[in-house]
Structure 1
Amino acid sequence: MRDHFSDPSIVQVAVSNLTSPRLAARDAASKISVSETRFVLAFVPGEMKGDEVAAALDEALGGVPVFGCSTAGQITDQGYETRALLLLAFPKKHFRCSSVLLAPLDPIAPTALATTAQRHAQEFQHTAGWKRLGLIFSDGVSQQEDVLVSTLEAVLSDLPIFGGSAGDSLRFEQTFVLHNGVSHSNSAVLLMLETDLEFQGVGFDHFLPAGAPFVITGADPQARKVHEINGAPAAEEYARLVGCKLADLSPTIFAENPVLVQYRDRHYVRAIADADDDGGLSFMAAIDDGLIMTLGQGQEILQTLETGLRRQDRLGERPDFILGFDCVLRKLEIEQKQLARAVSDILCASRVYGFNTYGEQYCGVHMNQTFVGVAFFGPGEGYVL
């Protein structure tokens, strides 16, 4: 049986900590066997400029298709990192792919988006016996992920889609996606995959509803902004519900005290990005008037992480690797509690590779403070729903 701290056998993993986009791309690409590679996922440090890294990767990888995005952190073979260029090379032996750039996101045109996605799916010829899934990488500053993923779910209902919103170094300024050698802002990349491998979707958080429900009584859905909660100024009422002073509201308070909304018998996190000068709250996912919400009470984050990543097939085998999209707000909470090393050890033990996001997408829902991913099993291993 393979050591779970060893490298995955399916994908090639390459990491560079060089700060120059050109040098980092060359360094990481030198660790990949290009001739065996169908496509590469690239997760880029938020400090790197999109056009520079896109051109450098295209040159270094000899035109092999590259998809990915800027990030608020990377998950490598060392666990959490912040300045690492991470490349995952997916082999021709086990994967086929087709991609489409969806732009612009703001303003978004759902009908046109649906037509484009549906036509593209129909043109992607199916391989007998292979299974399909989708990956979505979306500009995290566009604030259109809710409409984007719900539209894709409606028209591609037989295609499970997982993904994350591109981030940066928490400046909320420079986010981009990568598509075939070019960097794009205000855009999303939909990657349709076929594989002969078995896989499982992964999605979990560490919050349970707590306390009495409250109502959003004043909101600007387009801007994802709440002006009133329970008829009172939003920031003031949130502080009262949490039990802190208005002046003490901070990213740490928001990360540890998210608000939850119920959808299809499950609670999802709607994370707060900031308290505004006018007394409102800015959110990182869809919000609307009349929405009934509750505060989330955090559970033990190490235990929920280990449990959420504990996947196995019908033979009891663990995944070869997990492609993971982990919210940056989870990382902030973990660092605040000085648990980054312990979390990194768990991620390494489960062979998780991916990035820290500005939001996560899981089968038609955009959410926050959640871990989303896809667990891939080695050839010959079984699939468990």
Structure 2
Amino acid sequence: MFRVVVGHSDDPDSENAIAEVLQECSRSLAETIPQAGILFTAIEFDHVLILQRIQNAFPGIELIGGTTNGEISSILEFQQDSLTLMLFASDEVEIHSGIGRGISKNPALAAQEAIAQAKAKTASSPQLCLTFPDSLTSNGVLILEGLKQSLGDVPIIGGMAADDYTFTKTYQFFQGEVLSDSIPVLLFSGQLLFSHGVASGWTPISQRRRVTKVDGNVVYEIDGQRALDFYQYYLGEERFASNYAIHALAVFEDRDRFYLRAPNGYDQQSGSVKFFLDIPEQAVVQITDTTRDNILSASETSLKNALANYPGVQPTAALLISCAARRRILGTMTREEYQLVKTHLPEALPCCGFYAFGEIAPLVMGGQTQFHNKTFVTLLVGTK
């Protein structure tokens, strides 16, 4: 047995919202007791109260989650300022949580501590890791390195906790605790079947070039040319200055596949361009562009890829993670992301997700996990 249920409420009152969600989940669970869960909420809720209510309803539940820039579910589809809860109950799949604290001091170590804590609860080898770290206090690439060191080839799926696009503070959830500067993880082992899909909708428009001078997330030179001049050569000074954030850099993992890095500022004097996440030195890169139609089409592609890769007959649930930058560009069309996805899923399939400040997934099944910007990630799970 592997049962997954979802609750979702857009009531602005924290007490009413979590009461509605728990009632919805309990009705779907019937007499089944959930062992784990994922909670996504808007930043303005009373998170302490919400976690207390969940713990009271399901004592000892292995719960993680975080704050968001928008919430998604099969109940209310896309919403702003809401909360959604996904619960897992199974006698075939083990699910255990862990927490790493103080990621700003040592992100790799905090990630390793989170994995060690979750692993200590079981003798089974993990098959899948979910994580929703703080996006504002640390280096996501270093967090991912720590996770990989502890997990080896285990796929990692997740997204960075977000706020309402003020980039002020995010919160992470671990059982009954509301935290910042932390990394919660959920490890799945046992008879789990899963697949994922990744797509962005951004298309390369420049020649391929190699990063020749970089310091973390600040690129100084591409093929010996100032990074700013490289961008302006293809976009023009005016177009770059007014719209540079849209033109993410494609960073190639191999000849055909790339992940995205979103620009986050530039310096005229040094000619450098700053990005939200690190870019490796000697990486092959291209400038990209997109349209709203391409962004929406990519969410559908992500889901189709996950369905095509699913190793069983039919998944039990879907986890959807989209980027806050996608939502910002789509504007009033944002709700169409989920509406496109749901047309390819069974009507009763539980779905849950959120808009993140960075997405985590391998580009392909069996590949190395990467950090992404501006990307839509679909995860399908089940046992059949």
State TM-score, norm by structure 1. 0.81
Query: 2:367 matched to 1:369?
Result: no
After superposition, the Cα gap between the structure-2 partners of 1:51 and 1:125, relative to the gap in structure 1 and judged at 3 Å, is: same
After superposition, the Cα gap between the structure-2 partners of 1:315 and 1:150, relative to the gap in structure 1 and judged at 3 Å, is: closer
Larger deviation: 16-25 or 342-351?
A: 342-351
Give, in whole Å, the separation in 1 of the partners of 2:312 and 2:66: 34
Tell me by how many angstroms 1:63 deviates: 5.0
Give, in whole Å, the separation in 2 of the partners of 1:56 and 1:241: 54
- 1:154-233 correspondence runs (5 A): 154-214=149-209, 216=211, 219-221=214-216, 224-226=217-219
Partner of 2:138 in structure 1?
143
- 1:121-140 correspondence runs (5 A): 121=119, 123-126=121-124, 132-140=127-135
After superposition, the Cα gap between the structure-2 partners of 1:230 and 1:56, relative to the gap in structure 1 and judged at 3 Å, is: farther
Give, in whole Å, the separation in 2 of the partners of 1:55 and 1:119: 22
- 1:267 aligns with one of 247, 258, 261: 258
After superposition, the Cα gap between the structure-2 partners of 1:312 and 1:56, relative to the gap in structure 1 and judged at 3 Å, is: same
Partner of 2:36 in structure 1?
39
Tell me by how many angstroms 1:319 deviates: 3.1
Question: What secondary structure sits across from 1:309 in the alignment?
Answer: helix
Query: 2:290 matched to 1:298?
Result: yes
Give, in whole Å, the separation in 1 of the partners of 2:156 and 2:69: 21
Give, in whole Å, the separation in 2 of the partners of 1:110 and 1:295: 30
**Could you tell me whether the CA contact under 8 Å between 1:47 and 1:169 is conserved in 2?**
no
After superposition, the Cα gap between the structure-2 partners of 1:53 and 1:122, relative to the gap in structure 1 and judged at 3 Å, is: closer
Tell me by how many angstroms 1:313 deviates: 6.9
**Could you tell me whether the CA contact under 8 Å between 2:261 and 2:276 is conserved in 1?**
yes
Alpha-carbon deviations, 1:47-99, whole Å to 9, x = none?
Answer: 33544543444345555332100011111223322211001111134532111
After superposition, the Cα gap between the structure-2 partners of 1:108 and 1:312, relative to the gap in structure 1 and judged at 3 Å, is: same
Alpha-carbon deviations, 1:279-337, whole Å to 9, x = none?
Answer: 754322113555442112437334333232121478995533311111112222333xx
After superposition, the Cα gap between the structure-2 partners of 1:301 and 1:317, relative to the gap in structure 1 and judged at 3 Å, is: farther
**Could you tell me whether the CA contact under 8 Å between 2:98 and 2:117 is conserved in 1?**
no
After superposition, the Cα gap between the structure-2 partners of 1:57 and 1:276, relative to the gap in structure 1 and judged at 3 Å, is: farther
Q: Which runs of 5+ in 1 are unaligned?
A: 1-8
Could you tell me the percent identity over the aligned residues?
A: 21
Alpha-carbon deviations, 1:261-293, whole Å to 9, x = none?
Answer: 112442110112345797754322113555442
Query: 2:334 matched to 1:334?
Result: no
1:376 maps to a residue whose letter is V
Tell me by how many angstroms 1:247 deviates: 7.7
After superposition, the Cα gap between the structure-2 partners of 1:125 and 1:358, relative to the gap in structure 1 and judged at 3 Å, is: same
Query: 2:234 matched to 1:241?
Result: yes
Partner of 1:346 in structure 2?
340
**Could you tell me whether the CA contact under 8 Å between 1:103 and 1:186 is conserved in 2?**
yes
Give, in whole Å, the separation in 2 of the partners of 1:95 and 1:316: 15
2:290 maps to a residue whose letter is G
2:298 maps to a residue whose letter is T
- 1:75-90 correspondence runs (5 A): 75-77=72-74, 78-90=76-88
State TM-score, norm by structure 2. 0.81
Give, in whole Å, the separation in 2 of the partners of 1:315 and 1:148: 29
After superposition, the Cα gap between the structure-2 partners of 1:313 and 1:359, relative to the gap in structure 1 and judged at 3 Å, is: closer
Partner of 1:3 in structure 2?
none
Query: 2:333 matched to 1:320?
Result: no
**Could you tell me whether the CA contact under 8 Å between 1:25 and 1:60 is conserved in 2?**
no
Partner of 2:365 in structure 1?
none
1:83 maps to a residue whose letter is D
Q: How many residues align?
A: 361
Give, in whole Å, the separation in 2 of the partners of 1:133 and 1:67: 15
After superposition, the Cα gap between the structure-2 partners of 1:115 and 1:304, relative to the gap in structure 1 and judged at 3 Å, is: closer
After superposition, the Cα gap between the structure-2 partners of 1:259 and 1:64, relative to the gap in structure 1 and judged at 3 Å, is: same
Larger deviation: 118-127 or 17-26?
A: 118-127
